């Protein structure tokens, strides 16, 4: 019950850090992949242009070398061009197998390179053309020799161009893709460092006690975060002022009401003793009960105001929980006897040492035990236990009253909330006061079913160690 409630995050909320990282990386990929694609197509186009120009130029050079006078020595021509069947020359290149030329005189193949097919590399038409031979695509350039009256065809496999295009593109694109993981890490690190002040301030506020309304200081906060910090501190300041005004008003009002109510109660009791009229006595008794309820409310308001003003851990000292229970037991023993209740106290460990504020803890125990007595019937039972269990000081107050329904146990700590149908008068502030005192002492407390048939209130305090 003393645990702080958690707020379920809105599903529409998003992380600034994830948003920045995702968008920066995504746009970085877009701005690198798109140029990479453009580089690839541009390189492919330029390679096509260069190879076509080279193919045309080489065909014209071949036209200048081979003519009808020199064709009688075609073997010498082939040897001079280093186009032997076996490329064992130290200066040979693998791409030479993917180059070929032919000379056609009508339908007669006059000469061809060793790696050229016997079928035409292209239609006997001037210019460039693509042709498929044995599952391979060739790019050919055909030139008609007006002097020799024949066709010269020079061709090369297109996969040469593809390999060169891929090499050029890979050399440009591969560094980009190597750069992307490094960019991702840099973006992640930069956004983490940039948002660190927000996480630091959030952690500072989250670790604070809800009553700590002092300003949040962060000397390293950047300008953008500093504006947020200023507004948070303004809010804390306004909340603190409102809280102080409310506490002072409750305390002052309760204090001012105590004396006239006490005086009014005395005069009412005197009037009851002096009156012989039964109807008048009955009215005065009802008035006395109303004044008593009002006096109890005022006392609770004053206790609440004082508890909120004294919830300061600096005032804590070493206390014996068993002695606190015994003192409170003696204070309320007469009240239990008036209802003829079985009122008992068991201190199972003498050294039940805790750290806290004695006056506040006395108020806590008095509220719970007083409730147990009031809500337990005549001849009922109220049992107090104090013991050490699992390095914790445990205080249990059990009664044989009506208890509190399970579905209402979370609400009884709200101010002025009372369980209806209990048959007892009260202000609805007692458990709210108990909750605040337990919270400042880091004590866990629960409302359980009692083995006596009613309610069991269990407190767990940290065991004080020297």
Evaluate whether 454 touches 403 at the Cβ level (below 8 Å): yes
Identify whether 162 is part of a domain. yes
Tally Cβ neighbours within 10 Å of residue 193: 9
Task: Answer whether 99's CB lies under 8 Å from 115's CB.
Answer: yes
The DSSP secondary structure of 430-450, one letter per residue, reads HHHHHHHHHHHTT-EEEEEE-
What does the pLDDT read at residue 385? 94
**Mapping DSSP to helix (H, G, I), strand (E, B) and coil, where does residue 84 land?**
coil
Is-contact 17 191, C-beta < 8 A?
Answer: yes
Q: What is the DSSP string of 176-190?
A: HHHHHHHHHHHHHHH
Distance separating alpha carbons of residues 231 and 124, to the nearest angstrom: 85
Residue 403, sorted as left (phi over 0), alpha (psi -120 to 50) or beta, turns out to be left
- Say what the pLDDT of residue 7 is: 45
Tokens representing residue 214 in the block? 């002092």
The domain boundary, picked from 310, 345, 373, lies at: 310
Q: Which two tokens stand for residue 240?
A: 């603190």
326/281 same-domain check: no
295 token code pair: 């006096």
Q: How many structural domains is the chain composed of? A: 3
Q: Give 386-417 as a DSSP string.
A: EEEETTEEEEEEEE-S----GGGTTTTTSTT-
- For the domain that residue 297 is a member of, what is the CATH number? 1.10.287
Burial of 232 (0-12, 13-18, 19+ CB in 10 A): middle
Query: Is residue 297 domain-shared with residue 362, that is, in the same domain?
Result: no
Question: Per the domain annotation, does 377 fall within a domain?
Answer: yes
**Whether the Cβ atoms of residue 304 and residue 247 lie closer than 8 Å to each other:** no
- Which residues fall within 8 angstroms of residue 113, CB to CB, at 6 or more apart? 78, 81, 83, 99, 100, 101, 102
Residues 46 and 144 both lie in one domain: yes
**Residues written for the chain:** 466
Per the structure block, which two tokens stand in for 213?
Answer: 């309304």
CATH code of the domain covering residue 67: 3.30.450
Among 281, 310, 339, residue at a domain's last position: 310
- For residue 321, tell me if it sits in a domain: yes
DSSP secondary structure of 85-124: SS---TT--GGGGGEEEEEEETTEEEEE-TTS-SS-SS-S
Q: Which two tokens stand for residue 232?
A: 């948070």
The two structure tokens encoding residue 147: 């002097």
Picking from 417, 426, 422, 416, the residue whose alpha carbon sits closest to that of residue 404 is: 422
Where does a domain end: 280, 310, 340? Answer: 310
Q: What is the pLDDT of residue 1?
A: 44
- Is the Cβ–Cβ distance between 100 and 118 less than 8 Å? no
Q: DSSP character for 9?
A: P
Cα separation, 156 vs 101, whole angstroms: 9
Q: Considering the domain boundaries, does residue 438 fall inside one?
A: yes
Domain identity same for 351 and 299: no
Helix 430-440 and helix 278-310: axis angle, to 10°? 20
321 & 306 share domain: no
- Whether 385 is in a domain gets the answer yes
- What CATH number has the domain bearing residue 376? 3.30.565.10
H or E segment and range at residue 154: strand 150-157
- 71 occurs within a structural domain: yes
Same domain, 283 and 405: no
| Lookup result for tokens 């746009």 | 27
| Residue 206 placed within a domain | no
pLDDT at residue 276, as a whole number: 72
Residues 306 and 344 in one domain: no
Do 60 and 104 share a domain, yes or no?
A: yes
- Residues 302, 434, single domain; the answer is no
* Same domain as 316, residue 276: no
Host domain of residue 375: 311-462
Residues 298 and 327 in one domain: no
- Does 11 fall in a domain? no
pLDDT in tens, the chain (466 residues): 444 444 455 555 667 777 887 888 888 778 777 877 887 788 778 878 888 888 888 888 888 878 777 776 666 666 655 544 444 555 555 555 677 888 888 888 888 877 788 888 888 888 888 888 878 888 889 888 888 888 988 888 888 777 777 777 777 777 777 777 888 888 888 888 887 888 887 787 777 766 677 777 777 777 777 777 888 888 878 877 776 766 666 655 665 666 677 777 777 777 777 777 777 777 777 777 667 666 666 666 666 565 555 555 666 789 999 999 999 999 889 889 999 999 999 998 888 899 988 877 888 898 899 889 988 999 999 999 999 998 899 999 999 988 888 877 777 666 544 554 444 444 445 677 788 788 878 889 899 999 998 999 999 999 987 6
46 and 160 housed in the same domain: yes
Q: pLDDT tens, 415-457?
A: 544 554 444 444 445 677 788 788 878 889 899 999 998 999 9
CA distance 212 to 164: 71
């Amino acid at each position: 019950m003393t645990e702080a409630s958690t707020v379920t995050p809105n599903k529409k909320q998003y992380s600034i850090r994830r948003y920045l990282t995702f968008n920066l990386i995504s746009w970085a990929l877009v701005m690198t992949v798109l140029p990479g694609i453009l580089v690839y197509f541009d390189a492919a186009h330029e390679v096509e242009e260069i190879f076509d120009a080279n193919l045309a130029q080489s065909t014209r050079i071949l036209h200048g070398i081979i003519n009808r006078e020199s064709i009688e020595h075609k073997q010498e021509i082939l040897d001079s061009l280093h186009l032997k069947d076996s490329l064992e020359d130290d200066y040979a290149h693998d791409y030479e197998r993917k180059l070929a030329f032919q000379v056609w005189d009508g339908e007669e193949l006059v000469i061809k390179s060793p790696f050229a097919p016997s079928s035409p590399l292209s239609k006997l038409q001037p210019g460039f053309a693509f042709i498929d031979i044995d599952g391979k695509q060739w790019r050919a350039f055909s030139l008609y020799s007006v002097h020799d009256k024949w066709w010269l065809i020079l061709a090369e496999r297109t996969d040469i161009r593809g390999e060169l295009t891929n090499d050029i593109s890979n050399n440009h694109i591969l560094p980009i893709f190597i750069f992307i993981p490094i960019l991702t890490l840099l973006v992640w690190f930069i956004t983490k460092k940039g948002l660190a002040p927000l996480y630091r301030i959030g952690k500072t506020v989250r670790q604070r006690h809800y009553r700590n309304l002092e300003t949040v200081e962060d000397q390293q906060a950047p300008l953008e975060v500093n504006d947020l910090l200023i507004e948070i501190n303004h809010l804390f300041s306004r909340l603190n002022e409102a809280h102080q005004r409310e506490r002072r008003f409750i305390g002052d009002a309760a204090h001012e009401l105590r004396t006239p109510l006490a005086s009014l109660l005395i005069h009412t009791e005197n009037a009851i003793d002096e009156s012989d009229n039964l109807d008048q006595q009955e009215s005065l008794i009802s008035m006395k009960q109303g004044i008593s309820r009002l006096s109890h409310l005022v006392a609770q308001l004053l206790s609440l105001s004082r508890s909120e003003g004294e919830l300061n851990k600096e005032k804590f000292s070493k206390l014996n929980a068993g002695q606190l229970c015994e003192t409170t037991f003696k204070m309320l023993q007469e009240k239990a006897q008036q209802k003829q209740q079985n009122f008992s106290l068991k201190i199972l460990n003498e050294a039940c040492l805790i750290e806290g504020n004695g006056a506040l803890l006395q108020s806590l125990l008095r509220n719970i035990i007083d409730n147990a007595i009031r809500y337990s019937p005549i001849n009922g039972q109220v049992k107090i236990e104090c013991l050490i269990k699992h390095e914790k000081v445990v205080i249990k107050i059990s009664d044989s009253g009506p208890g509190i329904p399970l579905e209402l146990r979370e609400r009884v700590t709200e101010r002025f909330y009372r369980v209806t149908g209990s048959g007892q008068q009260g202000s609805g502030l007692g458990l709210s006061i108990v909750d605040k005192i337990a919270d400042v002492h880091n004590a866990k407390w629960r409302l359980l079913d009692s083995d006596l048939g009613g309610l069991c209130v269990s407190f767990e305090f940290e065991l004080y160690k020297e």
